[in-house]
Chain A
Amino acid sequence: DIQMTQSPSSLSASVGDRVTITCRASQSINTYLNWYQQKPGKAPRLLIYAASSLRSGVPSRFSGSGSGPDFTLTISSLQPDDFATYYCQQSYNYPLTFGGGTKVEIK
């Protein structure tokens, strides 16, 4: 199974900050990497697919990069609506696996 390791597990940031979340796969997954945002009591929401493609309707302050085992989700200027938990997920092969999540909290 491919293990997905996210860091940090949580962070505190202020509105306007640049935030970077990293995700490492236990083996190369090409660019089969997706990012989701989840707010308490809500379903996950797709933000980025195929490592760097922004889903339609997602604000451009979100961006993704990377390939192989190492990936990054960046929020260029944190907004109040962005406080949530973020998950990476590999779709390279089964079992499909998620990272442990990164909780972004208000400083």
Chain B
Amino acid sequence: EVQLLESGGGLVQPGGSLRLSCAASGFTFSTSAMSWVRQAPGKGLEWVAAIGATGGTTYSADSVKGRFTISRDNSKSILYLQMNSLRAEDTAVYYCAKDFWSGYYGTHWGQGTLVTVSS
């Protein structure tokens, strides 16, 4: 059974940093592209960043470019999102999603982790 478990969310001050993790199991992580998708409270879904199976190719939304970095450790089956220079508008539940990539679709999603940016 595919399982994705996000962690690392919490309360952080504006300008601060946070690193999210998504631990994957139940499938061959090293052959799956992955993405982070977020949802601000009461709002819709917003794609944040994507990474190819090997980690060699990444894409990110303009809203986070230069501040957020997606990466992965295939030896540990973990996906990361390093978030720097956080802003209030980054407050959201962050989901990791398997296979969420151009030409494909998000087959499995984690339960999400809440990031709150506030002073």
B59 lies within 8 A of A46 (CB): no
- Categorize the interface residue count of chain A: 20 to 34
What 1/0 flags go to A77-106 for Cβ under 8 Å of B?
A: 000000000010101111111111100000
Contact between B101 and A91, CB atoms less than 8 A apart = yes
Give the Cβ gap from B78 to chain A, nearest Cβ, in Å.
18
Q: Say which size band chain B's interface belongs to.
A: 20 to 34
Chain B residues within 8 Å of A, Cβ to Cβ:
35, 37, 44-47, 50, 59, 61-62, 95, 97, 100-107, 109-112
Contact partner, A46, options B47, B105, B110, Cβ 8 Å? B105
Cβ–Cβ < 8 Å partners of B35 in chain A:
96
| A44/B105 in contact, CB under 8 A | no
Query: Which residue of A36, A38, A92, A96 is within 8 Å of B47 (Cβ)?
Result: A96
- Binary contact readout A20-45 vs B (1 if CB under 8 angstroms, 0 otherwise): 00000000000010101010001111
- A residues 1-57 in Cβ contact with B at 8 Å: 32, 34, 36, 38, 42-46, 49-50, 55
Which chain B residue lies CB-closest to A96? B47
Nearest chain B CB to A42 CB, angstrom units: 8
Residue in chain B with minimal CB distance to A85: B44
* Chain B neighbourhood of A101, CB < 8 A: 44-45
A93–B101 alpha-carbon span in the complex (Å):
9
Nearest B-chain residue to A53, judged by Cβ = B105
